[in-house]
Amino acid sequence: MVRTVTSTLTAQVLAPSTVELQVAVAGDRPGTEVLEVTLDGAPVEVTELATDVGGRLHVVRPGAGRLQVSYRAEVHGESAPVTVQPLDRTAYLRPSRYAQSDALAAVAAAELGGAGDPASLVRDVAAWVGGRLAYVPGSSRVTDGAVDTLLAGAGVCRDYAHLTLALLRARDVPARLVSVYAPGLDPMDFHAVVEAMVDGAWYVVDATLLAPRQSLVRIATGRDAADTAFMSSYGGALRLDGMSVTATVDGDLPVDDLDRLVQLG
């Protein structure tokens, strides 16, 4: 399977800033890849830093002007499944800024306390979140966490992911957020899913059911959306003016069997 992904970001830098980008495919370099960053049409120096789980953070320090980021990659085949690291269980069981598992412990126990093995619990949590929330673009704020989402009963992919994270952690299943390119997603955008630890391996959980899990391409991995934002700005001022994302596969999309555990490849 060949997956082709692109993203374009356009922003106005109002005051010199440090801008961090997480748009590149994680892991080994894909079959072909181009990242271009310009300010008022002139190339900007880019520094690449390694992050968790093969992620790649690109740092630029533009002056004031119009910043444009263009990324394109072809991903050939599937990468090997990510292995569980010694500290993963501890790191991804803790509550985090947007996944307040401690605040939702009573809800998780009452609604999901009857689930048996971890694999069944993962499926039950995904089904519960998918049935509880309505997918409504524009219904949430970027500062909303899992508690806000549960109370609102609606959100977008990151909100589904944060509630899923919080409930899994509250039931002692380590879980983390992954930003991905998602062939089949409609409307097309960056997508957020969850990885849950089951029997010593990481498996994808996506309560939105908006794209087949087998087609997803990892970008960034972390505790929640605070670790995986596609663009962050520090020390200046920046306004995001436009964004476009595409993700396709050659041939037909995979058929997702929701009764199976799937690893992100």
Beta strands in the chain (DSSP E): 2-15, 18-21, 32-39, 42-43, 47-50, 56-60, 65-76, 134-135, 154-155, 175-181, 191-198, 201-205, 217-222, 231-234, 237-249
Helix (H) / strand (E) element for 108: namely helix 105-112
Per the CB < 8 A criterion, the answer to whether 217 and 75 are in contact is yes
Q: What is the mean pLDDT of residues 117-133?
A: 95
In the chain, the percentage of residues whose pLDDT exceeds 90 is 92
Flag whether 11 is in a domain: yes
CA–CA dist 232, 58 (Å, integer):
11
Q: Is 255 contained in some domain?
A: no
Question: Does the structure show a pLDDT above 80 at 34?
Answer: yes
Q: How high is the mean pLDDT of the chain?
A: 95
Cα(168)–Cα(184) distance, rounded to whole angstroms? 26
Q: Are residues 207 and 241 in the same domain?
A: no
Quote the pLDDT of residue 29. Answer: 59
pLDDT for position 80: 85
Same structural domain, 222 and 234: no
- Check pLDDT > 90 for residue 30: no
Same domain, yes or no, for 114 and 8?
Answer: no
Provide the sign of the torsion angle of the four alpha carbons 7, 145, 161, 52, taken in this order. Answer: positive
pLDDT at 230 over 80: yes
In which residue are the tokens 């409930």 written? 167
Same domain, yes or no, for 217 and 186? Answer: yes
CB 62 within 8 A of CB 16: yes
Whether 51 is in a domain gets the answer yes
CA distance 209 to 252: 17
Instruction: Find the domain containing 25 and state its range.
Output: 2-78+230-249
145-198 pLDDT per residue, tens:
999 999 999 999 999 999 999 999 999 999 999 999 999 999 999 999 999 999
Q: Check whether 31 has a pLDDT greater than 80.
A: no
Whether residue 54 is found in the same domain as residue 180 = no
156 close to 137: Cβ distance less than 8 angstroms: yes
Could you tell me the pLDDT band of residue 116, with boundaries at 50, 70 and 90? confident
44 and 124 together in one domain: no
Residue 130 sits in a domain of what CATH number?
Answer: 3.10.620.30
Residues 101 and 223 in one domain: yes
Query: DSSP 3-state assignment of 93?
Result: coil
- Mean pLDDT across 224-241: 96
Examine the domain organization and report whether 92 and 187 are in the same domain.
yes
Determine contact, residues 18/61, Cβ cutoff 8 Å: yes
**25 & 99 share domain:** no
112 inside domain? yes
Residue type, 47: T
Give the tens place of pLDDT for each residue, 61-108.
999 999 999 999 999 988 888 999 999 999 999 999 999 999 999 999
